[in-house]
């Protein structure tokens, strides 16, 4: 059987990868933000209203609590399903019918966790003392100015927070993201035990894939950037091997220079294609597929493709780095970012950078639909390109409905990423699935899930830069996407022993 990750270059050079994960679209969602009160209702939604659209689901953090400082990415107890959503038996019921991915938050835990609270109470005498990273554990003689300047930061300021212990002493704790997200020492015995216990819990629940959240920041080393250093690669490799023993595949979440992604892809089961969202915007904004085609020729084949996620639209993934050119020249990238802000009528600007808390220096916070100026045809073209790109596609729950920025939620929380983290009611879901956009997108998704050609060989055909022609071939079955960027339209044709058949045309 041919792998879904087989690529045909212009010189017919194949790349082969094997995976047990279904070659079907996956949903990315929070349990409680898609009109569901818990896992039981989510399972029902997937088996009924959304039946046939997904072969898998990435369930965003469902641990205790789901409503912490960072929407579940700051777990107090990583081993406990938030009781408001259900329990591990409910998770197992979901894994019985779909591939389920869960987040393994490897870099940090909540400051309210029992482990950190015990450390604050007992200091170095705490049995959890070695679990947490202090500044002096990384810099025994104190960090120099050069040390501090070398540290790569996803947000402004230094990655440390001063905490007072019960005896009155103070410790400078490593906090890469926020003051309430306490970094753990993954190389300590307690850190290793903590992560391995989670893998065992996931394995028992039938989780088929984990997403290593913030893995790029997990290793701290004096004199380095503390981000994606050689030791980080080793850590990811070691954790991947441990996951495999539990029957779990690994997706690594890294926003970084594209060559770094390509290197990581050699060591794990899957990487995100975070370059694709901006490259598709580039295509549609400029009616030119040149940069996208160059990427599709070299991109890792063991990819999970996205246009939108619970985070922002990544910019660093296509930008230049340390004098090396990126996938899009930086000046052109600046224009694309400005076009997003223009298309959203400035709403994305209110959620990006210094305009909102929980800052991400390398992302634009905006729904993908608004980034395209709420142009439904352009949105369907974008999804068609994603579904025909090599990899397993994921669709974010807000993107599933092609929705607007949630300015109310942003105003209420002042967290930039909340602009794209809407809480849907059951009534909203009912109305959304009746819209023409959802019906068209559903048709496209069913084609991607069910056509046998997608289990075959990927081909990128020679065209002008205003056109894009992608074809998948599996023995006698073939399916082709032809996009005319100048006229903003696409067709999908199937080819088998009976000849050609028009499967979809937009507009």
Helix (H, G, I), strand (E, B) or coil at 219: coil
Which contacts of 468-472 are long-range, i.e. CB under 8 A and separated by 24 or more positions? 468/283, 468/289, 468/292, 468/293, 468/385, 470/296, 470/385, 470/388, 470/389, 472/388
Q: Where are the domains of the chain?
A: 114-183
What does the radius of gyration of the chain's CA atoms come to, in whole angstroms? 23
Give the pLDDT score at 499.
Answer: 79
- As given in the structure block, the two tokens for residue 53 are 């659209």
Residues 6+ positions from 338 with CB-CB distance below 8 Å: none
pLDDT in tens, 439-448: 999 999 999 9
Looking at the structure, give the CATH architecture of the domain made up of residues 114-183: Alpha-Beta Complex (3.90)
Give the pLDDT score at 70.
Answer: 84
Give the pLDDT score at 16.
Answer: 43
How distant is the alpha carbon of residue 223 from its chain centre? 29
Q: How many other C-beta atoms can be found within 10 angstroms of the C-beta atom of residue 412?
A: 10
Considering only CA atoms, which of 203, 291, 293 is closest in space to residue 247?
Answer: 203
Give the pLDDT score at 496.
Answer: 81
Give the pLDDT score at 462.
Answer: 95
Specify whether the CB–CB gap between 206 and 238 falls below 8 A.
no
Residues 6+ positions from 409 with CB-CB distance below 8 Å: 418, 419, 421, 422, 423
Known binder of ligand: residue 211?
A: yes
For the cut 50, the answer to whether the pLDDT of residue 8 exceeds it is no
pLDDT in tens, 326-336: 999 999 999 99
For the cut 80, the answer to whether the pLDDT of residue 5 exceeds it is no
Tell me the pLDDT band of 309, cut-offs 50, 70 and 90.
Answer: very high
Mean pLDDT across the chain: 92
For the cut 90, the answer to whether the pLDDT of residue 255 exceeds it is no
Give the pLDDT score at 153.
Answer: 84
Give the pLDDT score at 416.
Answer: 92
Known binder of ligand: residue 361?
A: yes
Residues 6+ positions from 462 with CB-CB distance below 8 Å: 10
d(CA 421, CA 404): 10
**Alpha helices (H) in 344-432, listed in sequence order:** 368-371, 376-388, 397-400, 407-413, 426-432
Known binder of ligand: residue 213?
A: yes
For the cut 70, the answer to whether the pLDDT of residue 1 exceeds it is no
For the cut 60, the answer to whether the pLDDT of residue 13 exceeds it is no
Known binder of ligand: residue 253?
A: yes
Give the pLDDT score at 455.
Answer: 94
Tell me the pLDDT band of 231, cut-offs 50, 70 and 90.
Answer: very high
Known binder of ligand: residue 187?
A: no
pLDDT in tens, 395-432: 999 999 999 999 999 999 999 999 999 999 999 999 99
User: What average pLDDT does the segment 479-497 reach?
Assistant: 95
Give the pLDDT score at 218.
Answer: 95
Known binder of ligand: residue 451?
A: no
Please count the CA atoms within 13 angstroms of the CA of 288 that sit on its side-chain side. 7
Tell me the pLDDT band of 306, cut-offs 50, 70 and 90.
Answer: very high
Tell me the pLDDT band of 25, cut-offs 50, 70 and 90.
Answer: very high
Tell me the pLDDT band of 9, cut-offs 50, 70 and 90.
Answer: very low
pLDDT in tens, 57-114: 999 999 999 998 888 898 999 999 999 999 999 999 999 999 999 999 999 999 999 9
Tell me which H or E stretch contains 183: strand 181-183
Which contacts of 331-337 are long-range, i.e. CB under 8 A and separated by 24 or more positions? 332/282, 333/278, 336/278, 336/281, 336/282, 336/285, 337/364
Known binder of ligand: residue 311?
A: yes
Question: C-alpha distances in angstroms, 412 versus 177, 358, 416, 506?
Answer: 21, 14, 11, 38
Give the relative orientation of helices 258-265 and 230-245 as an angle to the nearest 10 degrees: 40
Known binder of ligand: residue 408?
A: no
Q: Is 213 labeled as catalytic in the residue annotation?
A: yes
Known binder of ligand: residue 341?
A: no
Known binder of ligand: residue 349?
A: no
d(CA 69, CA 67): 7
Percent pLDDT > 70 in the chain is: 95
d(CA 38, CA 117): 29
User: What average pLDDT does the segment 121-139 reach?
Assistant: 95
For the cut 50, the answer to whether the pLDDT of residue 12 exceeds it is no
Known binder of ligand: residue 58?
A: no
Q: Is 263 labeled as catalytic in the residue annotation?
A: no
- Pick the more confident residue, 5 or 375: 375
Give the pLDDT score at 17.
Answer: 53
**Of 32, 115, 213, 269, which residue is the catalytic one?**
213
For the cut 50, the answer to whether the pLDDT of residue 160 exceeds it is yes
pLDDT in tens, 180-230: 999 999 999 999 999 999 999 999 999 999 999 888 899 999 999 999 899
For the cut 50, the answer to whether the pLDDT of residue 10 exceeds it is no
Give the pLDDT score at 4.
Answer: 32
For the cut 90, the answer to whether the pLDDT of residue 350 exceeds it is yes
**Of 90, 103, 185, 253, which residue is the catalytic one?**
253
For the cut 50, the answer to whether the pLDDT of residue 381 exceeds it is yes
Considering only CA atoms, which of 386, 100, 387, 39 is closest in space to residue 251?
Answer: 100
d(CA 486, CA 360): 33
Give the pLDDT score at 360.
Answer: 54
Beta bridge partners of 179: none
Specify whether the CB–CB gap between 391 and 19 falls below 8 A.
no
d(CA 480, CA 496): 12
Tell me the pLDDT band of 478, cut-offs 50, 70 and 90.
Answer: very high
């Amino acid at each position: 059987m041919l792998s879904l990750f087989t690529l045909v270059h212009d010189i017919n050079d194949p790349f082969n990868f094997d995976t047990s994960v279904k070659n079907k679209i996956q949903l990315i969602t929070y349990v409680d933000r898609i009109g569901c009160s818990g896992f039981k209702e989510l399972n029902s939604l997937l088996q009924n209203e959304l039946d046939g659209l997904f072969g898998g689901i990435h369930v965003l953090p469902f641990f205790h609590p789901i409503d912490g400082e960072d929407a579940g990415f700051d777990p107090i107890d990583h081993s406990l399903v938030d009781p408001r959503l259900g329990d591990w038996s409910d998770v197992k019921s979901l894994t019985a019918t779909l591939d389920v991915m869960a987040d393994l938050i490897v870099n940090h835990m909540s400051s309210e966790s029992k482990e950190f609270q015990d450390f604050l109470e007992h200091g170095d005498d705490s049995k959890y003392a070695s679990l947490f990273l202090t500044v002096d554990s990384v810099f025994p003689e104190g960090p120099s100015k050069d040390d501090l300047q070398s540290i790569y930061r996803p947000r402004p300021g230094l990655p440390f927070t001063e905490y007072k212990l019960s005896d009155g002493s103070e410790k400078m704790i490593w906090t890469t993201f926020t003051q309430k997200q306490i970094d753990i020492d993954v190389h300590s015995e307690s850190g290793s035990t903590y992560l391995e216990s989670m893998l065992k819990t996931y394995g028992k629940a039938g989780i088929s894939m984990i997403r290593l959240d913030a893995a790029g920041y997990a290793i701290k080393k004096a004199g380095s950037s503390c981000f994606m250093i050689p030791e980080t690669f080793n850590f990811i490799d070691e954790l991947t091997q441990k996951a495999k023993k539990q029957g779990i595949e690994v997706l690594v979440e890294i926003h970084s220079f594209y060559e770094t992604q390509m290197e990581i892809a050699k060591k794990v089961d899957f990487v995100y294609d975070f370059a694709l969202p901006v490259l598709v915007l580039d295509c549609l904004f400029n009616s030119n597929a040149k940069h996208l085609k160059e990427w599709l020729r070299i991109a890792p084949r063991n990819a999970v493709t996205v246009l939108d996620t619970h985070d922002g639209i990544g910019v660093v993934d296509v930008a230049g780095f340390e004098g090396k050119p990126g996938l899009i020249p930086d000046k052109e990238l600046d224009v694309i970012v400005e076009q997003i802000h223009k298309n959203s009528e400035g709403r994305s600007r209110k959620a990006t950078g210094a305009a909102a808390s929980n800052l991400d220096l390398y992302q634009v916070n905006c729904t993908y639909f608004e980034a395209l100026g709420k142009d439904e045809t352009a949105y369907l073209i974008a999804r068609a390109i994603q579904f025909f790109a090599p990899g397993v596609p994921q669709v974010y729950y807000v993107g599933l409905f092609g929705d607007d920025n949630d300015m109310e939620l942003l105003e209420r929380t002042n967290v930039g990423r909340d602009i794209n983290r809407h809480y849907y009611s059951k009534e909203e879901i009912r109305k959304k699935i009746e819209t023409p956009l959802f019906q068209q997108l559903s048709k496209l998704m069913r084609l991607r899930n069910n056509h046998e050609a997608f289990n075959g060989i990927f081909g990128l055909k020679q065209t002008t830069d205003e056109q894009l022609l992608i074809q998948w071939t599996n023995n006698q079955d073939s399916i082709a996407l032809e996009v005319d960027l100048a006229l903003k339209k696409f067709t999908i044709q199937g080819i088998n022993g009976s000849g050609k058949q028009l499967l979809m045309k937009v507009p």
